[in-house]
């Protein structure tokens, strides 16, 4: 199988490692890729969010499957353009990607499908925003309606800050605060059949102890030793299948990766958000544990044959990834810093580029993800931090508490 992978971040490096390790893959091309991905794929330059350019590249390279990593190409209709050329694409249509592209659309689908989620209002002016904030009370949750690369959400006790965020965004969803530990569940689907991957947890806030502003994600681990038994089955039954059925009923079947972001509240799991693609950095840990060949799984989802795919196999043990971020991230990351110690196994490249002088330089806020595995979560955590200690990037920072609450048994479900 020849595969074209779109994107150039940490998620795509993790996907590239999985695809390259599949014995069925004889050629892997990535566009635009990154210096880490270059170790396992041939890189091509293309604007991943340009449907015509991606479709032309897929035809030119004669690939059997296009795997679309980031959300922007999905929302732009890249999967539709590739399929129009008769080539299989892993990723939802532009229409179906609205589950991620519009928070208001996602809420509407959840309501119609009877999916348990936070109560919410879509607001476009200060008066209705203020009313919604007061109805739900603090902490206030205000979400930009459009795509915001995981950074359009403000959760705050400060009513004025909540109003300011709403004004900056224009159209927002104001919702009830959900208390409880968060879970990311990835589901591979062809629109009808659906296969859950291992649940993972990520860390959105920049600082230890969940302090500071939201980021794209500062680390992750899987599996979740504290997850209630039956959680995945419950979410498949109450969230995933009703959502897929509702999308099909609307004439926009969702095929690809449905990312279900959940809070495990006193009343059970509640959906915080849907995304239309693999999450970053949870992908790094989930795929580190997947034994089933990745390309075959994604190809089955892309060709409507997932029901016939064999059950997934997982490695024993656990995986932890710790993001090493550039100085100034998330507000104003400093790029161009020289990175050393980032070329070995377990180091996933997220925001790097190769400089003309051959050095590896930082090229984004989240620079590398140090990904360790081990027989249990404590060992995987130790392996990940050992890798972090080997990476040098002046001014960089990372969280020191990724997976520590889970290792120490400090995660509790309210109620
Ligand atoms: P989102 O982009 O919707 O995932 O939101 C980013 C982060 O904001 C989530 O991972 C949560 O930590 C937090 N968040 C979003 N919605 C809520 C909510 N209703 N209650 C509590 N926290 C939330």
Atom nearest to 179 CA in ligand 1: 21
The helix-helix angle for 282-289 and 10-20 (nearest 10°) equals 20
Q: What is the mean pLDDT of residues 78-96?
A: 98
Q: Which of the four pLDDT bands, split at 50, 70 and 90, describes residue 405? A: very high
Q: How far is the CA of 364 from the centre of ligand 1 (A)?
A: 23
Residues 6+ apart with CB under 8 A from 142: 129, 133, 153, 154, 162, 165, 166, 169, 172, 173, 174
Asked if 201 contacts 208 with a C-beta cutoff of 8 angstroms, the reply is: no
Q: Which of the four pLDDT bands, split at 50, 70 and 90, describes residue 151? A: low
In this structure, what token pair is assigned to residue 66? Answer: 């296009």
Name residues contacting ligand 1 (CB within 6 A).
118, 141, 143, 150, 153, 155, 175, 177-178, 182, 204, 214, 261, 272-273
pTM of the full structure: 0.96
User: Would you give the DSSP letter of residue 238?
Assistant: I
pLDDT at 317 over 60: yes
Atom nearest to 103 CA in ligand 1: 3
Q: How far is the CA of 150 from the centre of ligand 1 (A)?
A: 9
pLDDT at 121 over 80: yes
Atom nearest to 176 CA in ligand 1: 19
Alpha carbons 349 and 362: distance in angstroms, whole number: 10
Atom nearest to 178 CA in ligand 1: 20
Q: Listing from the earlier edge strand, what are the strands of the sheet with 360-362? A: 338-339, 360-362, 352-354
Q: How far is the CA of 1 from the centre of ligand 1 (A)?
A: 38
Residue nearest to atom 16 of ligand 1 (CA): 272
Q: How far is the CA of 259 from the centre of ligand 1 (A)?
A: 14
- For strand 88-90 and strand 65-68, is the pairing parallel, antiparallel, or unpaired? parallel
Residue nearest to atom 4 of ligand 1 (CA): 273
Beta bridge partners of 240: none
φ and ψ at residue 258, rounded to 5 degrees? -95, 115
3-state SS of 35-88?
A: CCHHHCCEECCCCCCCHHHHHHHHHHHCCCEEEECCHHHHHCCHHHHHHHCCCE
Residue nearest to atom 19 of ligand 1 (CA): 177
Residue in this structure with the two tokens 């004669």, named with its chain if needed: 62
Q: What is the mean pLDDT of residues 226-231?
A: 96
pLDDT at 149 over 70: no
Alpha carbons 283 and 277: distance in angstroms, whole number: 10
Q: What angle do CA 366, 255, 110 make, to 5 degrees?
A: 85
Alpha carbons 115 and 86: distance in angstroms, whole number: 34
Alpha carbons 97 and 75: distance in angstroms, whole number: 5
Res 148: pLDDT: 63
Res 243: pLDDT: 98
Q: What is the mean pLDDT of residues 191-216?
A: 96
User: Would you give the DSSP letter of residue 307?
Assistant: G
Alpha carbons 33 and 43: distance in angstroms, whole number: 6
Alpha carbons 90 and 98: distance in angstroms, whole number: 16
Atom nearest to 150 CA in ligand 1: 2
Residue nearest to atom 13 of ligand 1 (CA): 155
Residue in this structure with the two tokens 């196994």, named with its chain if needed: 345
User: Would you give the DSSP letter of residue 171?
Assistant: S
Mean pLDDT of the chain: 96
Q: Max Cα separation, the chain? A: 58
Q: Which of the four pLDDT bands, split at 50, 70 and 90, describes residue 4? A: very high
Res 213: pLDDT: 87
Residue in this structure with the two tokens 């995981």, named with its chain if needed: 150
Peptide bond into 406 cis (omega under 30): no
Q: How far is the CA of 304 from the centre of ligand 1 (A)?
A: 32
């Amino acid at each position: 199988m020849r595969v074209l992978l779109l994107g150039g971040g940490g998620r795509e490096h993790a996907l590239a490692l999985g695809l390259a390790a599949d014995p069925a893959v004889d050629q892997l091309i990535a566009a635009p890729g990154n210096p880490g991905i270059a170790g396992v794929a041939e890189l091509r330059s293309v604007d991943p969010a340009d449907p015509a350019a991606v479709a032309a590249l897929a035809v030119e390279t004669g690939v059997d499957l296009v795997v679309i990593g980031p959300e922007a190409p999905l929302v732009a209709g890249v999967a539709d353009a590739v399929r129009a050329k008769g080539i299989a694409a892993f990723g939802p249509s532009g229409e179906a990607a609205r589950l991620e592209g519009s928070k208001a659309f996602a809420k509407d689908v959840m309501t119609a499908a009877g999916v348990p989620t936070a109560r919410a209002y879509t607001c476009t002016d200060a008066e209705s925003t203020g009313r919604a904030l007061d109805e739900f009370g603090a902490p206030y949750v205000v979400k930009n309606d459009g795509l915001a690369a995981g950074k359009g959400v403000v959760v705050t006790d400060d009513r004025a800050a909540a109003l300011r965020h709403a004004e900056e965004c224009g159209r927002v969803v104001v919702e009830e605060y959900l208390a409880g530990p968060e879970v990311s569940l990835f589901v591979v689907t062809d629109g009808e059949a659906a296969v859950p991957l291992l649940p993972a947890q990520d860390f959105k806030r920049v600082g230890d102890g969940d302090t500071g502003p939201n980021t794209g994600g500062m680390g992750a681990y899987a599996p979740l030793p504290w997850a209630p038994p039956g959680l995945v089955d419950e979410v498949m039954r109450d969230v995933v299948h009703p959502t897929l059925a509702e999308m099909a009923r609307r004439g926009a079947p969702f095929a690809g990766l449905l990312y279900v972001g959940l809070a495990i509240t006193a009343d059970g799991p509640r959906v915080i958000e849907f995304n239309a693609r693999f999450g970053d950095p949870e992908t790094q840990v989930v795929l580190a544990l997947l034994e089933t060949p990745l390309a075959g799984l994604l190809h089955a989802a892309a060709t409507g044959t997932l029901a016939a795919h064999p059950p997934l196999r997982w490695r024993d043990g656990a995986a932890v990834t710790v993001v090493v971020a550039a100085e100034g991230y998330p507000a104003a990351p400093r790029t161009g810093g020289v990175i050393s110690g980032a070329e070995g196994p377990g180091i996933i490249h997220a925001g790097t580029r190769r400089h003309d002088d051959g050095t590896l330089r930082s090229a984004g806020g989240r620079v590398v993800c140090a990904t360790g595995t081990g027989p249990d979560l404590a060992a995987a955590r130790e392996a990940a931090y050992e890798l972090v200690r080997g990476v040098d990037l002046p001014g960089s920072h990372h969280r020191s508490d990724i997976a520590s609450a889970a290792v120490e048994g400090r995660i509790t479900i309210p109620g």
